[in-house]
Amino acid sequence: MFQQAKRQQAFLKMALTGPSGSGKTMSALLMASGLGKKIAVLDSENGSASLYSSSVDFDTAPLSPPFTTEKYIQAIQFAEKNGYDVLIIDSLTHAWSGPGGLLEQKEQMDSRGGNSFANWAKITPKHNALMSAILHSKVHVIATMRSKQDYVLADKNGKQVPQKVGLAPQQREGAEYEFTTVLDIAMNHEAESSKDRTGLFDGKLFKITKDTGIAIKNWLDSAEPVPVEPKKEEIKPQPKAEQPKAEASPASYTRKDMFDLAIKRGWHNDVCKRFIKATFKKDNSNKLTQEEIVTMISFIKEMNGFEVTQMLDSNEQQAIADSQPTDEVPY
């Protein structure tokens, strides 16, 4: 069952975060030039990448609003199918908080009178599909993310002057940590890692160059090659086996089915209660109709317990974390 773990060759998934003007685009291009020869840039930043075309050779595809996740996924698939070595997504932030992005889609749903929990259940699969397309693509991906900005007083020649600094990236909370490595770039263009699975950048402060990309590529290439699957033997016709029982139809779903799935998907008792009350205006699951049970099951299938908990504000999350676990039916 278990075997010795070995690092296998893989495609880089890099996130570069920083405030506007910190040099994310140029840093991404320099890094990409060390990773491969054929570079594609998905540009939602009004053609800013093309300003650096004299420094690095690359192809570019402009992306205009609405910044839907479907557009991003199509571009990723195109880069993969057309043999690009590196895809730079500049910027991934627009898919989240740009015009037509996921946050705006959610706000539009809310404005039409939809329930906030239910609307998040529609948005989450879109976000997950985009992240899955990035993480499973057979091309190196460098995604830039704008970070929220603030100003601090810094000493300059004996005087206190305001200096722009970057905070958390403008992205769904925790999304940046899906990547192999996350480099945060300051306004002086120096980078440091907030997450680094390569071990190349821990504790270092540096400027990203072509050599950065070369070092990463050497690290990637030093891993074990991915085993090639043997050719499948011709499958001979087999006697028809007894067909497995079909999954229960939605019309036959019960409250027990809903409870069992909720527990399996990690839905906390209090989260379940809040979700049912907010979505169906009912404080007891005994009052749910068959149609509402089916709807509830579809929500649970779409979102695990962690994802639905992230929709609550920090006070509600803390209250849930402090509550005592119970074996009682969660509704």
pLDDT reported for residue 327: 46
User: What are the residues facing 86 on neighbouring strands?
Assistant: 39, 140
If DSSP codes are grouped into helix, strand and coil, which group holds residue 195?
A: strand
Provide the Cα torsion 321, 323, 329, 331; round to 10°.
-80
pLDDT reported for residue 228: 58
26-52 mean pLDDT: 95
pLDDT reported for residue 283: 82
Both tokens of 143, joined, read 């995604």
217-237 mean pLDDT: 72
Q: Is the pLDDT of residue 215 over 50?
A: yes
Side chain identity at residue 141, one-letter code = V
Q: How far is CA 227 from CA 7, 20, 85, in A?
A: 12, 42, 21
Q: Is the pLDDT of residue 181 over 90?
A: yes
pLDDT reported for residue 331: 47
Convert the pLDDT of each residue in 55-87 to its tens digit.
999 999 999 999 999 999 999 999 999 999 999
If DSSP codes are grouped into helix, strand and coil, which group holds residue 51?
A: helix
- pLDDT category at 205 given cuts 50, 70, 90 is very high
Both tokens of 325, joined, read 């676990």
Residue predicted with more confidence, 321 or 268:
268
Domains and CATH numbers, the chain: 13-221 (3.40.50.300), 250-322 (no CATH)
Would you give the end-to-end CA distance of the chain in angstroms? 38
Question: pTM of whole model > 0.75?
Answer: no
What's the chain's length in residues? 331
